[in-house]
Every structure is written in structure tokens, then in C-alpha cells.
Amino acid sequence: MNTQEILQVLPNLSLEDHLIIVEAALKLINQERNLSRIEQKRQLQAAAMMAVSDYAPESTLLVFSELDGEDFHDYSM
């Protein structure tokens, strides 16, 4: 279930269900915040590894870098 689906279902739930969801979400946030330094480093390394392909030659992220050094507008008259 994605965020949009969850937000659509929420108004149909009871107050008790809302509180259960909020409590569960806060527990998850608190657990993530209390990650050890080692686990934080592991997560950052994993995210960096996933992003490597974005910065590889010929990636769509770097397409506009081909314009580096070119004048944006020709002011010669």
C-alpha cells in the first residue's frame, strides 16, 4: 500500500484506529532515529551504492552537463 492509498483510507477509520496507526508510526520513527552509528553508516553506504549508476557516464542525470561551458544566451549583436 502506498502513501496515497493510506491517506485515502484514513478518513474511513475510527479514532481508535487512527491512534493505533499514529502510535505505530511514531515507534518506527523513534527506532530509525535511535539507529546505531554503524547501522546509520551501513544505510548511507547502501544509498550511495544505489546512486552510483545515476552519476555514471551516459546517465540521464548527467545529460545536461554536456552543456557546461556553452553560453546560455548569445548576446552578440
What pLDDT does 53 receive?
79
Residue type, 46: A
Instruction: Tell whether 14 is covered by a domain.
Output: no
For the four alpha carbons of 58, 59, 65 and 66, in that order, the dihedral sign comes to positive
Domain extent, residue 29, equals 25-55
Cα–Cα distance between 30 and 52 in angstroms, integer?
A: 29
Locate all alpha helices (DSSP H) within 1-77, ordered by sequence.
3-9, 15-33, 37-51
Q: Given this model, what pLDDT does residue 24 score?
A: 92
Q: Is residue 5 part of a domain?
A: no
- From first to last of the 77 residues of the chain, give the pLDDT tens digit: 888 998 999 999 999 999 999 999 998 888 877 777 788 888 889 999 888 877 777 777 766 666 666 666 666 66
How many domains does the structure of the chain reveal? Answer: 1
Per the listing, cell 492509498 goes with 5
Residue 60 resides in a domain = no
Give the global pTM: 0.43
Q: How far apart are CA 50 and CA 56, in angstroms?
A: 12
